[in-house]
A and B are shown apart, each in its own frame.
Chain A
Amino acid sequence: MITAGVDVGAKTVKIVVLRDREVVATAKDLSGFDQAKVASELLAQALEKANVTQGDLAGICSTGAGRKIVSEATHSVTEVSAGAKGSLFINPDVRTVIDVGAEEGRAIRCTEKGKVEDFAVNEKCAAGSGAFTESMARALEVDVAELGKLSLGSDASVPMNAQCAVFAESEVVSLLHAETPKQDISKAIHDAIASRITSMARRIGLNKEVLVIGGVALNVGFIRSLNEAIEMDVIVADDPEFVNALGAALIAAERAN
């Protein structure tokens, strides 16, 4: 059976095509202004890569903030269900999923049977999302990809006001003026976002294994700070950005059955 998962996120669209629970193609692009169009074109690309046509698909499941605009979708689920499904597929021992995307952070608690038991979402606050690292990178005048690596060079613990992204930005500026090394500031930034995410995840409880998904999982500085904050080692999913799309494709397969 062939299915596809389409994850229309705030910043990017991700697609996974599955054949008999095996990934046969993936695709990713910026969401842009016309998310529906991007999603359609990207789906076509992914299907071409997989060498199948839309008619071959047993189902298409969409997820993400823009899940309702995907006209091709036969099903639609939220990131909570998709994230849990994808994560447990990757590692059945996962009990906590931490999903940090461009605009939102989420924590999901799953049972042994793969059921979502509880979830928490970071409410309307940039301080717990990818947008935060991006604005901090701008304030530090470094590339966002470099920001994480930079912090690995620091063991300092510079407290930062993690409550508010606006305050945090002015704090970064103050720290720069005080000639604090950039690597220490970068560490402080990742500690702050990790603290924010940990706070939220503690609401639902942190149980091993903890899998981190979403684009921010690729940030090594964040992962280091997160490990310290939750006092255990998390697992970073391979291709963490695609886990929700993978979960959606799996759900499409289940529903087709």
Chain B
Amino acid sequence: MFSKFEEWYRDRHDYARAWKEKSSGKVFGCFCSYVPEEILVAANILPVRVLGSHEPQDVTEPHLFGMFCPFCRDVLAQGLKGRYEYLDGITLAQSCIHLRQAYRSWEQHVDQPFSYYLPHPMSVQSPAAVPYLREELENYKKAVEEFTGSKITNDDLDRGIRILNENREAMHELYKHRIGPEPKLSGKEAMWVTVSSTWIDKEEHTAEIRRVLKLIEEREMDRECGAKLMFVGSENDDIEFINMVESVGATVVVDDHCTGTRYFWNSTADDMNDRIEAIAKRYVERPACPSKDHPVRTRFPHILKLAKDFDVQGVILIQQKFCDPHEADMVPLRKYLEENDIPCLFLEFDVTVPLGPFRIRVEAFLEMVGEEDLF
């Protein structure tokens, strides 16, 4: 049922190259989930999120000091190895310093005609954030217009907003099928869907979700659900890891990842006269990355609500090694969840994860979670 998504996940570059040929459109690589894709879609550009490939590599050390996160190094390695050679442009929406470096090194050492550093407010809780981002988005829109040579009209923006929102809505509907005693899809399948949504043409992606949604009610799962878990952390598209977790008696039913719910959870208002302001508002108000979650920790109640709504028995806290923003959240987050009776397992991720030792820890965690069920 999810084979199309699996194929998209696996053959991301083939897809983008084929899309480009078919549509004669341009493809932009997006660094970070804060890139305002509405504007790109409005300009008939395919936004593709740049992710790593989970392979050891030896090309980034001249560019990135080893204390920065494995994800940013893996991302840069893709560029240096020419895997994204089809990109017409790249954009970084400012969040953490780690990915920012991958972007700058990429910009300098990989050829592409367009590169844009989009300053993005870190104090998203300040009333000054939306008006400021609005101006930055205007500048970005102008830069994209200059690059493509055509104006982005309000109609274009409406289309961009609609296409993004439709995909977000479809994702929400799909996620509803992960609630309840017998989720209708595994966490691995959900990961194929959510992660691929960050690079597949959104209308095509939405249509495929809609196709699946028609069939999913009738779906008989050929696997035991086991313990229902949530993943929380930074970027995570590690299929091998989620597969391992789900092979030892668990199903992952929800997440708080920037490659998961944080990416699609909220919509852009489609009834505001100022479209750019509407987009700015969406990106300011979306579930925050820890790098932007201050002074108040808005993430925690949001994560707890997800955990409760999806009725999870435990949370796996996934920490990209050296990721400072997440490291600054993990300790109080774990305390907060445990105080709310949600057990947690903390794991530190590298480019590749040592599946053997992790399996033992996950199994032990599941035993603990299972025991709690008895009482």
Do A and B touch (CB < 8 Å)? yes
Residues of A participating in the B interface, judged by any CB pair closer than 8 Å: 123, 159-164, 167, 170-171, 173-175, 177-178, 191-192, 195-196, 198-200, 202-203, 229
Judge whether B158 is part of the interface by a CB distance below 8 angstroms: no
Q: Given A170-B357, A174-B357: A198 and B58 within 8 A (CB)?
A: yes
Bound: A177/B62 CA distance, A:
36
The answer to whether A203 and B350 have CB atoms under 8 Å apart is: no
- Identify 23 residue pairs between A and B in the complex whose beta-carbon atoms are under 8 Å apart, listed by A's number: A160-B56, A160-B352, A161-B350, A161-B351, A161-B353, A161-B354, A163-B70, A163-B321, A163-B351, A167-B350, A170-B354, A170-B356, A171-B354, A171-B356, A174-B356, A174-B357, A175-B356, A177-B356, A178-B356, A195-B58, A198-B58, A202-B59, A229-B58
Closest Cβ of chain A to B55, distance in Å, is 6
The answer to whether A195 and B357 have CB atoms under 8 Å apart is: no
Q: Which of B56, B62, B353, B355 contacts A195 (CB 8 A)?
A: B56
Most B C-beta atoms less than 10 A away, residue of A161, A173, A177 = A161
Bound: A171/B357 CA distance, A:
8
> Assuming A163-B351, A198-B58, what are 5 further A-B pairs, CB within 8 angstroms?
A161-B352, A162-B56, A174-B355, A175-B356, A199-B61
A203 partner residues in chain B, CB cutoff 8 A:
61-62
The answer to whether B354 and A167 have CB atoms under 8 Å apart is: yes
The answer to whether B62 and A159 have CB atoms under 8 Å apart is: no
Closest Cβ of chain A to B193, distance in Å, is 26
Most A C-beta atoms less than 10 A away, residue of B56, B59, B321, B355 = B56
A200 partner residues in chain B, CB cutoff 8 A:
61
- The contact string, 1 if C-beta is below 8 Å from chain A, for chain B 29-64, is 000000000000000000000000001111111100
Q: Which of A174, A175, A192, A202 contacts B56 (CB 8 A)?
A: A192
Q: Which residue of B lies closest to A229 (CB)?
A: B58
- The contact string, 1 if C-beta is below 8 Å from chain A, for chain B 328-356, is 00000000000000000000001111111
Bound: A155/B353 CA distance, A:
22
The answer to whether A173 and B356 have CB atoms under 8 Å apart is: yes
Bound: A81/B57 CA distance, A:
29
A192 partner residues in chain B, CB cutoff 8 A:
56
**B residues contacting the other copy or chain, number (CB 8 A):** 19
Residues of B participating in the A interface, judged by any CB pair closer than 8 Å: 55-62, 66, 70, 321, 350-357
Q: Which of A123, A159, A174, A198 contacts B55 (CB 8 A)?
A: A159
Bound: A163/B124 CA distance, A:
35
Q: Which residue of B lies closest to A178 (CB)?
A: B356
Closest Cβ of chain A to B308, distance in Å, is 35
Closest Cβ of chain A to B36, distance in Å, is 34
Bound: A192/B58 CA distance, A:
10
Closest Cβ of chain B to A206, distance in Å, is 11
Q: Which 6 A-B pairs have the closest CB atoms?
A: A174-B356, A199-B61, A198-B58, A199-B58, A195-B58, A203-B62
B352 partner residues in chain A, CB cutoff 8 A:
159-161
Bound: A167/B351 CA distance, A:
12
Bound: A167/B355 CA distance, A:
11
A199 partner residues in chain B, CB cutoff 8 A:
58-61
B58 partner residues in chain A, CB cutoff 8 A:
195-196, 198-199, 202, 229
Closest Cβ of chain A to B315, distance in Å, is 23
Closest Cβ of chain A to B328, distance in Å, is 22
Closest Cβ of chain A to B358, distance in Å, is 9
Bound: A160/B353 CA distance, A:
9
The answer to whether A159 and B56 have CB atoms under 8 Å apart is: yes
The answer to whether B350 and A163 have CB atoms under 8 Å apart is: yes
A195 partner residues in chain B, CB cutoff 8 A:
56-58
Q: Which residue of B lies closest to A191 (CB)?
A: B56
B321 partner residues in chain A, CB cutoff 8 A:
163
Q: Which residue of B lies closest to A230 (CB)?
A: B58
Closest Cβ of chain B to A118, distance in Å, is 11
Closest Cβ of chain A to B183, distance in Å, is 29
Closest Cβ of chain B to A176, distance in Å, is 9
Bound: A196/B60 CA distance, A:
11
Closest Cβ of chain A to B151, distance in Å, is 44
Bound: A149/B352 CA distance, A:
26
B350 partner residues in chain A, CB cutoff 8 A:
161, 163-164, 167
Bound: A161/B56 CA distance, A:
7
Q: Which residue of B lies closest to A167 (CB)?
A: B354
Bound: A192/B55 CA distance, A:
11
Closest Cβ of chain A to B223, distance in Å, is 22
A162 partner residues in chain B, CB cutoff 8 A:
56
Closest Cβ of chain A to B244, distance in Å, is 11
Closest Cβ of chain B to A210, distance in Å, is 14
Most A C-beta atoms less than 10 A away, residue of B58, B70, B351, B352 = B58
B56 partner residues in chain A, CB cutoff 8 A:
159-162, 191-192, 195
Bound: A203/B60 CA distance, A:
9
The answer to whether A174 and B354 have CB atoms under 8 Å apart is: yes
Bound: A192/B62 CA distance, A:
18
B59 partner residues in chain A, CB cutoff 8 A:
199, 202
Bound: A160/B321 CA distance, A:
16
Bound: A167/B56 CA distance, A:
14
B357 partner residues in chain A, CB cutoff 8 A:
170-171, 174
A174 partner residues in chain B, CB cutoff 8 A:
354-357
A163 partner residues in chain B, CB cutoff 8 A:
70, 321, 350-351
